[in-house]
Amino acid sequence: MKIALLGFGTVGRGVDQIISERVPDVEVARILELPDRLTDPRMTSSYDDIVADPEIGLVVECMGGVEPARTYIMAALEAGKHVVTSNKAVVAAHFAEFAAASAASGAGLYIEASVGGGIPWIASVEKVRRIDEVTSFSGIMNGTTNYIVDAMRREGADFFEVLAEAQRLGYAERDPSADIDGIDVANKTIISASVAFDVACEKDLPVTGIRNLRKSDLDLLAGCGRTAKLLGRGVCRDGRYAAAVEPVAVSLDSLEASVPSNFNLVTLDATTVGELRFYGQGAGSLPTGNAIVQDVLDCVRGVRRPAYDFSRGLAWDPELLRSDHVFRTEATIPGSEPFAPGAVVARDVTAAEARALLDAALEVDPTTFMAALA
């Protein structure tokens, strides 16, 4: 089959390399690039050249960002071309719209690479759901923040020092907000909840990142046998569901605590199979390229045709995600108890309530750090 790549950055180049070296039955025939970067005969700067080409059966979108990715994906699906995408921002924002266009035209929508890089997470959740209900999921879904927390813990360095190093190594963007404020994890959590629970997931979930995590916070948590990891989580029970992104103080002997460097670890719990966990490179040219090519092969070889139907009507219920939350702050947290010097604990609050408590505390002490107790 002839396919087109939209975008030729890190991921697009990985896809092109893997297909040309390892997948003889697929050909990257066209590549959409900016007008001043047309360095390859396959390249064009006009999307019409691609979407109007009857020989192109599948479009791989790896541009990132919401527009023009959304417009291009919709145009491809409406033209009956299969779409494979690694773009979590656009899928999280427009999943239901894409699913409806895919169902209407019969073109496939493949999103494996949008969560967990090379980890076969989305396809595994779909496979589990052939038999089981997924009752919860939870994961380290962002390599940059895991790299930062892991390096802070191993090297005893502080946040901004490690962030600068991560930027130097190319693990973190020059503007690191999407990573350190939890926005990237929120997109992956929305997508995971949608696939795991069959719901157009609420976009306004509670989201807290690790911008205010300091070495002293890790020391404090280590004193109680814990460390902090930024987790995206979702729960589904009795026709209701909830999701949240927040730092979680996990036990030092948990698998999460042992995840090194920029790796990801995602976990699901399901009715008969129980707990399953998947670990691998959450980003990078070849791992993410591999996930895209796996989707391309599933499509080309007719192995898997995802069908997303969000008509189940699950109700959003923040009450499903409740736990104790620790705050390191000079502000007063209403209803809290002492936890450790400089830190208090608010018992049995929802992730949404904890986020509201954090917002109020940040008004008083902008350095406030919060973590849920696992």
Binding site for a copy of itself (CB under 8 A): 14, 18, 22-23, 118-120, 124, 127, 130-132, 253-255, 257-260, 263, 267, 272-281, 284, 286-287, 289-291, 293-294, 297, 303-304
Nearer to a copy of itself, 25 or 309 (CB): 25
For residues 91 and 112, the answer to whether their CB atoms sit within 8 Å is no
* 144 versus 212: smaller Cβ distance to a copy of itself: 144
Least separation, in Å, of the C-beta of 97 and a copy of itself? 28
Is 188 in the active site? yes
Q: Which residue, 24 or 41, has its beta carbon nearer to a copy of itself?
A: 24
By beta-carbon proximity to a copy of itself, the closer residue of 309 and 337 is 309
Say if residues 51 and 30 touch (Cβ distance below 8 Å). no
Closest separation between CB of residue 151 and a copy of itself, Å?
A: 14
CB of 140 to a copy of itself, least distance (A): 12
Minimal distance, residue 119 CB to a copy of itself, in Å: 7
Handedness of CA 355, 358, 360, 366 (dihedral sign): negative
Which C-beta is closer to a copy of itself: that of 212 or that of 288?
Answer: 288
CA–CA distance, 139 with 310 (Å, rounded to integer): 23
Q: For residues 95 and 147, which CB has a smaller minimum distance to a copy of itself in the complex?
A: 147
Tally Cβ neighbours within 10 Å of residue 345.
Answer: 17
Q: How many degrees, rounded to 5, is the angle at CA 209 between CA 355 and CA 353?
A: 10
Catalytic residue among 188, 203, 215, 229: 188
Residue with tokens 């002839």, as numbered in its chain: 2
In the complex, what is the shortest distance from the CB of residue 112 to a copy of itself, in angstroms, rounded to a whole number? 11
- Decide: helix, strand or coil at residue 207: strand
| 149, 219 Cβ separation under 8 angstroms | no
Minimum distance, C-beta of residue 217 to a copy of itself, in the bound complex (Å): 19
Three-class secondary structure of residue 329 per DSSP: coil
Residue 298 beta carbon to a copy of itself: minimum distance, rounded to whole angstroms = 9
Nearest residue (CB) to a copy of itself, 9 versus 342: 9
The tokens of 189 are what? Answer: 């959590």
Nearest to 38 by CA among 28, 48, 30: 30
Looking at this protein, which amino acid is placed at residue 250? V
Before 68, cis peptide (omega within 30)? Answer: yes
CA atoms of 27 and 57, how far apart (whole Å): 11
**Residue 105 to residues 165, 180, 274: CA-CA distances in angstroms?**
47, 38, 36
337 forms beta bridges with 345
Residues 28 and 16 sit within 8 Å (Cβ to Cβ): yes
H/E stretch holding 61: strand 56-61
For the annotated catalytic residues, the residue numbers are 188
